[in-house]
Chain A
Amino acid sequence: MHNLGGVYIIWYRDMLRFQGNRIRMIGSIFLPLLFLFIFGSGLGSQMGAIAPGVNYAQFIFPGIIGMTVLTSSFMAGISLVWDREFGFLKEILVAPINRAVVAAGKTLGAATVSLIQGAIILIFAPLVGVSLSPSTVAILLALMFLLAVAMSSFGVLLATRIKSIEAFQAVTQLLLFPMIFLSGVFIPLQGMPHWMSILTKISPATYGIVSLRQIVLRETSTTILGINLLGHNMSLWNNVGVLAVFGVIMILLAMYSFSRQE
């Protein structure tokens, strides 16, 4: 079978499932919106400006988009573990499709769903006083997709090794939530305690969320909202580069690891 066709088929199944499950979509954007409006307005009124001309709701808005993409991308792994539990994985494993192609299709399927969910959050930009031009939106979508692919591959990679639902959920709790909290979704990176600052720089999601923020708030060079890595202030392109390298490594590892399992 043509490999591109295989990627499409696996991706297509995820689209069918997503289409058949609208409640999941409502559920997965409800929590981010809750954070955006409750934290944004509630905490925001206490905190004042985070940076010149940027209030707290505006500060967390790109973070919330990143969080939505992050959470949804992790579902790639969970859905693979579910497929194993419910037996459908066997149908895929005995099919005449290259396994590496299955991993790639699974990653792209989850990434597409994440992108759609993240894009829905974008609609709420005017409500927090963020104005986005069409070109900004296009750049944001591209960046969200990059973040989604990187994190979905990571989820798929985990799922090739962690085979029970219980274990995977535990690992998700252990990885996903710290990643959300330590990637600067809610907390400005500057002025964090030193130990926390190190963790934020280790978390690959940070580079995605900071990039999103740099685009949304047009802060391409400031030091206040950016990352200072080993004394170097990371530009937008630096951050995108780190995320892209991480994404490529993850998807290759996921494809390799998925091919190796029996």
Chain B
Amino acid sequence: MSDHIIKVANLTKRFGNLTAVDNISFTVSKGEVFGFLGPNGAGKSTTINILCTLAKPTSGQATINGFDVVRQQSQVRQSIGLVFQDSSLDEQLTGLQNLYFHALVYNVPAPVRKSRIKQLLQMTQLWDKRHNAVRTYSGGMKRRLELARGLLHYPKVLFLDEPTIGLDPQTRNRLWEYISELRQREGITIFLTTHYMDEANNANRIAIIDYGKIVAMDTPENLKHIVGKDIITLKTVDNDRTAEEIKHLYQIEPRYNNDELSFEIANGEKFLPSFIRKSSTKILSVSLRQTSLDDVFLKLTGREIRDEEMSNTFKNSAHGRRMGRK
């Protein structure tokens, strides 16, 4: 078997006249963190649903861990773990019961069942609350429990669909610590969708999907180059001398704005330390404006990812209200 744990070839899904996923192809390597970004309705969820065997493709193939998502559903399901955007826990059962149920369903061998559940509950800091019904958990606790559950059967691929939406920054960081710890220990592959660009930056590679097509796929660094270079603005005790030096050393013509110099450079964050070291004039101030993935997203899809997040937050709160009516 090749080291491509996810293989997608010419995948298409149509709903009537609407083509939600339009002939996409990509591969994900073992151990990779693969970011899958796109505006709402771009085909993100449909693609994930096909990969998770929740929907059937109209045409094309996809394999996970060497198993076909249409013909070998059971093997695919056994190979993947899922953390959905919306909770999929049984709120009436306790945290422990939820995990126990999952362990039975996924054939976690009886001798390791208890120890593994305990280990994951401790890691996600839910061990003390294991006998409480899930409906009494906070949003962050539920998400942590879902993560523990998604990892319980040691999946080869973990799908994280907006895993941290609606969580406070502290909980988000915690969750990411657990995820990276597990990735290192178990070598699992992570397929991530997110609206948070700092999270997307954690990915080894990112695919951006829009109108059912993949419009870009590369490392976060390379994607940023699509948009342009970073801008460095600085002020020294002798701007003219610095300008000469920049021209001479880097073959770049800096611009003068008032009493500051500015110039464009690729990979600004890597360039800056060596530039400062080599500078013969005393630098008074320096700033770097980096291209962000937000810029990339905006350029490729014509939409701000933040708008998307807003509409999602709204959707979540509407969902919350519905749940409250119980």
Residues of A within 8 A of B (CB): 1, 5-6, 9, 12-13, 16-17, 20-21, 83, 85-98, 262
Q: Chain B contacts of A20 at CB under 8 A?
A: 92-94, 133
Complex contacts, A96 vs chain B, CB 8 Å: 73-75, 77-78, 105-107
Q: By the criterion of a CB under 8 Å from any partner CB, how many residues of chain B are at the interface?
A: 33
Cross-chain pairs A/B with CB under 8 angstroms, 16 sampled: A1-B74, A1-B105, A9-B101, A9-B104, A13-B90, A20-B92, A20-B94, A20-B133, A21-B92, A86-B91, A90-B84, A90-B88, A92-B105, A95-B105, A96-B77, A96-B106
Measured CB to CB, the nearest residue on chain B to A86 is B91
| C-alpha gap A97/B104 in the complex (Å) | 10
| Pair A16/B77 contact, Cβ less than 8 Å | no
**Minimum CB–CB distance for B77 against chain A, Å:** 4
Determine if B172 is an interface residue (Cβ-Cβ < 8 Å). no
Is B56 touching A262 in the complex (CB atoms < 8 A)?
yes
Number of A-B contacts (CB under 8 A): 74
Chain B residues near A91 (CB, 8 Å)?
Answer: 88-90, 102, 149
B53 adjacent to chain A (CB < 8 Å): yes
| Other A-B pairs beyond A20-B94, A94-B53, 11, CB < 8 Å | A5-B104, A6-B105, A12-B104, A13-B101, A87-B89, A89-B88, A90-B88, A91-B89, A91-B102, A94-B82, A95-B102
Which residues of the partner chain B approach A98 to less than 8 Å between Cβ atoms?
74
SS of A interface (majority) = helix
- In the complex, what residues of A have CB within 8 A of residue B82's CB? 90, 94
Q: Give A79's nearest chain B residue, CB to CB.
A: B92
A1 touches B107 (CB 8 A): yes
Residues of A within 8 A of B55 (CB): 262
B59-95 toward A: CB 8 Å interface, digit per residue (1/0)? 0000000000000011101101010101111111110
Complex Cα distance, B92 from A137, in Å, reads 33
Q: Of A12, A87, A90, which contacts B54 at CB under 8 A?
A: A90
| B1 interface hit (Cβ, 8 Å) | no
The distance in angstroms between the C-alpha atoms of A17 and B101, with both chains bound, is 12
Assess the A94–B89 pair: CB atoms within 8 A.
no
Q: What 0/1 pattern do residues 284 to 323 of B give for CB contact below 8 A with A?
A: 0000000000000000000000000000000000000011
Give Cα A88 to B102, complex, Å.
11
Q: Name B90's closest neighbour in chain A (CB-CB).
A: A88
Q: Is there a chain A Cβ closer than 8 Å to B52's Cβ? A: yes
Which partner residue on chain A sits nearest B56 by CB separation?
A262
In this assembly, does B202 line the interface, its C-beta being within 8 Å of a C-beta of chain A?
no
Query: Chain B residues with Cβ under 8 A from A95's Cβ?
Result: 77, 102, 105-106
Name the one of A5, A12, A21, A88 contacting B89, with C-beta atoms under 8 angstroms: A88
Interchain nearest-CB distance for B290 vs A (Å): 38
Contacts of B75 in A (CB 8 A): 96
Q: How far is the CA of A31 from the CA of B32 in the complex (A)?
A: 58
A13 to B94, CA, bound (A): 11
CB of B53 within 8 A of CB of A17, answer: no
Q: Is the CB of B88 within 8 A of A87?
A: yes
Q: How many Å lie between the Cα of A21 and that of B97 in the bound state?
A: 14
Residues 12-52 of B, flagged 1 when their CB comes within 8 A of A and 0 if not, give 00000000000000000000000000000000000000001
Residues of A close to B105: CB separation below 8 A: 1, 6, 9, 92, 95-97
* A91-B102, A96-B107 known; A13 vs B323 contact (CB < 8 Å): no
In the complex formed, the residue of A with least CB distance to B133 is: A20
B204 CB to nearest chain A CB (Å): 25
Q: How far is the CA of A91 from the CA of B91 in the complex (A)?
A: 13
Please state if A16 and B97 are interface contacts (CB–CB under 8 Å). Answer: yes
A85 CB to nearest chain B CB (Å): 8
Choice from B54, B80, B97, B107 contacting A93 with Cβ under 8 Å = B54
A183 vs B273: C-alpha distance when bound (angstroms) = 85
Complexed CA–CA distance, A1 and B149 (Å): 19
| Pairs of residues from A and B, 10 with the lowest C-beta to C-beta distance, nearest first | A87-B88, A96-B77, A91-B88, A90-B88, A95-B105, A96-B78, A96-B74, A9-B104, A88-B90, A87-B86
